[in-house]
Amino acid sequence: MRSNIADAISTFFLEYETPRQVVVKNRRVGVVCRLIQLIVLVYIIGWVFIYEKGYQVTDKAIGSVYTKMKGVGYTKVNGVQRVWDVDDYVFPEQGDASFVVMTNYIMTMGQQQGNCPELPGKHSCQSDEDCEEGDYRRGGHGMLTGKCVSETKTCEVSAWCPVENDLVVPDPPLLMAAENFTLFIKNSITFPMFGIVRSNLVKRVNLRTCVFHEDEAPLCPIFRLGDIVRLSGFNFQELAVQGGAIGILIDWTCDFDWDRKHCLPKYNFHGLYGDGELMSNSSVGYNFRCRIHVTL
Ligand SMILES: *[C@@H]1O[C@H](CO)[C@@H](O)[C@H](O)[C@H]1NC(C)=O
Ligand SMILES: *[C@@H]1O[C@H](CO)[C@@H](O)[C@H](O)[C@H]1NC(C)=O
């Protein structure tokens, strides 16, 4: 027993082990070995360093977006001519990153609170019995007064009168001129980790004259609405009737191995209106109601 322990100790401390190298003089083994080394080298240099840039750090930029529309439109409806400038057709008014440009509208002039008949097709009636006082339907304009109006054969409602007639949507859209309105986008970003600030107002474009074009002027930050709609894969006249949503993605994928002057924005346009199959026909496009007080 004692000698076993002594043996183990002497083996541990007094013996030295080393692997023995064997040189194989064989072509095939040599080639396979070098090939494996080459594959590992190509993987590390080619994929990890050059393609994936595994040695780099990445930083997420923080950015701000500010917009400004320009353009004037004219409409003539029932012999009344109107001028529409930015203040009239952009909602909300102040250079937001998300906003609405009005391209079509239904105007109901001189509305006042009172009692008036519903639209044809909504709450039809033959006599007062068909109109239960106090009844209200979600799609209606107001609460029923209990009267049936004989001229329209619809129930009378307590509402803003006359009620809006949205059964016929103007087509072509009234503000088709919006196709030529321009949108100016001012976008600044910073990469905090690298202490780099960039803006989409690139020196080499002339903001007074340029208009964005995907091939000829890809850096101009002034966009024709018609172009934005076209590049998002839609037809302006079709979209402008019922409305729709479009997203503009400003892509700043920058590689600071190179000079920062190569860090430039890329604009992408995406239609956000669904694929038609999922969208129900009863709620196409985008619309909202607002009340405008005009003082003459
Ligand atoms: C937009 O401008 C072009 C060129 O100036 C013109 O031909 C076109 O009729 C304009 N579109 C609208 C809807 O006014
Ligand atoms: C929606 O309208 C289009 C044409 O206007 C029609 O082809 C389609 O079948 C409609 N879809 C549904 C779900 O009603």
Provide the pLDDT for residue 295. 65
Ligand positioned closest to the Cα atom of 242: 2
pLDDT digits (tens, 9 = 90+) for 74-99: 998 888 899 999 988 998 877 788 89
CA of 275 to the centre of ligand 2 (A): 12
Residue that the structure tokens 């172009």 belong to? 227
Asked whether residue 98 falls in the same domain as residue 219, the answer is: yes
Q: Quick one: average pLDDT of 20-36?
A: 89
Asked whether residue 89 falls in the same domain as residue 185, the answer is: yes
CA–chain centroid gap for 186, Å, is 16
Rg of the chain, C-alpha, whole Å = 35
- Are 218 and 202 a contacting pair, CB within 8 Å? no
Q: Give domain status of residue 284, yes or no.
A: no
Residue 57 in this model has a pLDDT that exceeds 60: yes
Does residue 180 have its Cβ closer than 6 Å to ligand 1? yes
Provide the pLDDT for residue 283. 64
Residue 185 in this model has a pLDDT that exceeds 80: yes
CA of 277 to the centre of ligand 2 (A): 8
Residue that the structure tokens 């694929």 belong to? 275
| Mean pLDDT across the chain | 88
Question: What is d(CA 221, CA 227) in angstroms, rounded to the nearest whole number?
Answer: 13
Number of domains in the chain: 3
Q: Whose CA is nearest to atom 8 of ligand 1?
A: 180
Give the number of other Cβ atoms within 10 Å of residue 238's Cβ.
14
Last residue of a domain, one of 122, 140, 161: 161
Provide the residue range defining the domain that includes 37.
2-51
CA–chain centroid gap for 200, Å, is 18
Provide the pLDDT for residue 214. 92
Asked whether residue 210 falls in the same domain as residue 262, the answer is: yes
The two most distant CA atoms of the chain are separated, in Å, by 122
Asked whether residue 77 falls in the same domain as residue 216, the answer is: yes
Asked whether residue 241 falls in the same domain as residue 101, the answer is: yes
pLDDT digits (tens, 9 = 90+) for 152-170: 899 999 999 999 988 888 8
The one-letter amino acid at 77: V
Q: Whose CA is nearest to atom 12 of ligand 1?
A: 177
Residue 18, both tokens: 């080393």
User: Which helix (H) or strand (E) element contains residue 33?
Assistant: helix 27-42
Asked whether residue 268 falls in the same domain as residue 240, the answer is: yes
- The rounded percent of the chain whose pLDDT value lies above 90 is 41
Asked whether residue 140 falls in the same domain as residue 26, the answer is: no
27's CB contacts (< 8 A; 6+ apart) are none
Question: What is d(CA 189, CA 78) in angstroms, rounded to the nearest whole number?
Answer: 48
Question: What is d(CA 6, CA 60) in angstroms, rounded to the nearest whole number?
Answer: 64
Q: Give domain status of residue 286, yes or no.
A: no
Residue 71 in this model has a pLDDT that exceeds 80: yes
Asked whether residue 223 falls in the same domain as residue 90, the answer is: yes
Asked whether residue 135 falls in the same domain as residue 224, the answer is: no
Q: Which stretches does DSSP call E strand in 22-125? A: 62-70, 73-77, 80-84, 90-91, 100-101, 112-117
Question: What is d(CA 134, CA 171) in angstroms, rounded to the nearest whole number?
Answer: 36
Question: What is d(CA 99, CA 102) in angstroms, rounded to the nearest whole number?
Answer: 10
- Are 203 and 268 a contacting pair, CB within 8 Å? no
Asked whether residue 69 falls in the same domain as residue 132, the answer is: no
Total-model pTM: 0.75
Residue 2, both tokens: 């004692």
Residue 200 in this model has a pLDDT that exceeds 90: yes
Best of 72, 180, 237 for a ligand 1 pocket test (most atoms within 8 Å of beta carbon): 180
